[in-house]
Amino acid sequence: MKVCWELFNAIEITDDGSVYVCCEQRVSKFSVGNIFKDKFEDIWNCEKLVKMREAALKGEYPYCNHGICEKLSRGGVEKNDLFIEALPSYKPVMTLFPIQIAFPLERDCNAKCIYCRDEIISSKKEQIELFNDKFNNIYLPIMKDVSIFTVNDMGDAFGSKLSRQVIKNIINRYPKIKFKLMTNGICAGEKFIKELDLENRIVEFSISINAVCEKTHYKIFRVRGWKLLLKNLKYISKLKKMGKIPSFHFKFVVCSNNWKEMAKFVKFASKYGANADFWEVRDYWTLENKYEDLAVHNETHKDFEAFVKSLVNPAFNEKHVVFSPLLMKLRNKAISEKEAKSEKSIWQKFFKIK
């Protein structure tokens, strides 16, 4: 029986202490408890999660958001490597604590990404003290069985002093730990990777790039980082070639500023040996009133039709391209419409000749 790995192994905690068993659940706001209020043992084996695991062990996922979960929507249980053979230890009530954990490392970042903020954010001394307190008293105790730490929250794995310090502390405490990292890549160079002793510890590296040229990159990140990024990508792709990064992804959040660069991004990612992952800009609170302007995937957007047409490009058939369920739906629709049109024109021509 194949089951979703995350339900038995992973948790993700957000700013307000809510605990989620995977990112997709977070999107559908399905928290299994609150780490600031409840005992972790109770959260990890709460009624909701026990029910989800029971269902998963029967091959069912009634509590998951199938429209948002990329794994369930793309071929489901049989065709996706997130789904693995259930181990004998996989029970509705788990005795082992999670082996993969993500918790928030504040919002510190070296960029002012248009999707996320208008200012460079850097934690003050009091915030760092508060974080350290949570780290020592709340997060560390639940990490007793951890083997993968994920850094993918609102800050940046490399562009934040706090995140770098946490990575260092975690390695000191758990010398065998591995990492899943998400970063804008601007500070993810040889210097920090070596200094943090990460060269042999990255199981998944995701880099948010969103562009194929300096001008668009600046429009989105609003800091000058393109040249540094290219230098870092060269070094990281060398690590990938050496087999040190099993899972390597370039991320592209599609919006009105960058959709015309999507096809070029497919080539760009392949040059560095990375997957090209596309998803649409989403209406998160951080966008305030910018969503309507940016959301080119919305029917009401002035560029919607041209955007959807562009998705027909065969460049997106490449194996290393991953589309979100929504983008995939738009693409499939555009392809069907194009095929129907060309069939119609063949018949029209045929009858004209006759």
In this chain, which of 156, 180, 201, 225 binds ligand SAM, going by CB under 6 A?
156
52 or 109: whose CB is closer to ligand SAM? Answer: 109
Report in angstroms how near the CB of residue 49 gets to ligand SAM at its nearest: 25
CB of 8 to ligand SAM, least distance (A): 25
Which amino acid is located at 235 in the chain?
Answer: Y
User: For the chain, give me the number of helices (H) and strands (E)?
Assistant: 15, 12
Q: Which is nearer to ligand SAM, 83 or 272 (CB)?
A: 272
- For ligand SAM, which is the closer residue by CB, 36 or 284? 284
Q: Mark residues 269-308: x for contact with ligand SAM by CB under 6 A, - for none.
A: ------------xx-x-xx---------------------
Check residue 105 for interaction with ligand SAM (CB under 6 A).
no
Distance of closest approach, residue 35 Cβ to ligand SAM, in angstroms: 20
CB-nearer residue toward ligand SAM: 152 or 310: 152
Binding flag, residue 103, ligand SAM (CB under 6 A):
no
Angle of the 226-241 helix axis to the 214-221 helix axis, nearest 10: 100
Contacts for 26 with CB less than 8 Å, ≥ 6 apart: 12, 14, 20
| Using rule CB under 6 A, residue 115 touches ligand SAM | yes
Which residue number, 21 or 121, has a Cβ lying nearer to ligand SAM?
Answer: 121
* CB 12 to ligand SAM: min, Å: 13
CA 297 – CA 301 distance, rounded (Å)? 7
Give me the least distance between CB of 334 and ligand SAM, in Å please: 21
Minimal distance, residue 225 CB to ligand SAM, in Å: 11
Instruction: Name the helix (H) or strand (E) containing 9.
Output: helix 5-9
Q: Could you give the CA distance from residue 173 to residue 151 in angstroms, rounded to a whole number?
A: 17
Strand partners, 248: 205
For residue 196, the minimal CB distance to ligand SAM (Å) is 16
Looking at residue 324, its amino acid is S
Nearest distance from C-beta of residue 213 to ligand SAM, angstroms: 17
Are the C-beta atoms of residues 162 and 156 closer than 8 Å to each other? no
Q: Give the H or E element holding residue 332.
A: helix 325-353
Which position among 148, 253, 276, 327 is part of the footprint of ligand SAM (CB under 6 A)?
Answer: 253
Per CB under 6 A, the list member of 49, 102, 109, 229 interacting with ligand SAM is 109
Cβ proximity to ligand SAM: between 61 and 272 the closer is 272
- Rounded distance between C-alpha atoms, residue 298 and residue 302, angstroms: 9
Q: How far apart are the first and last CA of the chain?
A: 59
Q: Kindly state the smallest distance separating residue 297's Cβ from ligand SAM, in Å.
A: 11
Closest to ligand SAM by CB, 63 vs 218, is 218
Long-range contacts of 212-221 (CB under 8 A, 24+ apart): 212/261, 212/264, 212/265, 212/268, 213/261, 216/257, 216/258, 216/261, 219/114, 219/257, 219/258, 220/113, 220/114, 220/115, 220/255, 220/257, 220/258, 221/111, 221/112, 221/113, 221/114, 221/184, 221/186
The footprint of ligand SAM on residues 166-205 (CB under 6 A) is 182-184
Element (H, E) at 178: strand 178-183
For residue 122, with 0-12 CB atoms within 10 Å meaning exposed, 13-18 middle and 19 or more buried, which class applies? middle
| Binding residue count for ligand SAM, defined by CB under 6 A | 18
By CB under 6 A, residue 251 contacts ligand SAM: yes
Enumerate binding residues for ligand SAM (CB under 6 A): 109, 113, 115-116, 152, 154, 156, 182-184, 208, 251, 253, 281-282, 284, 286-287
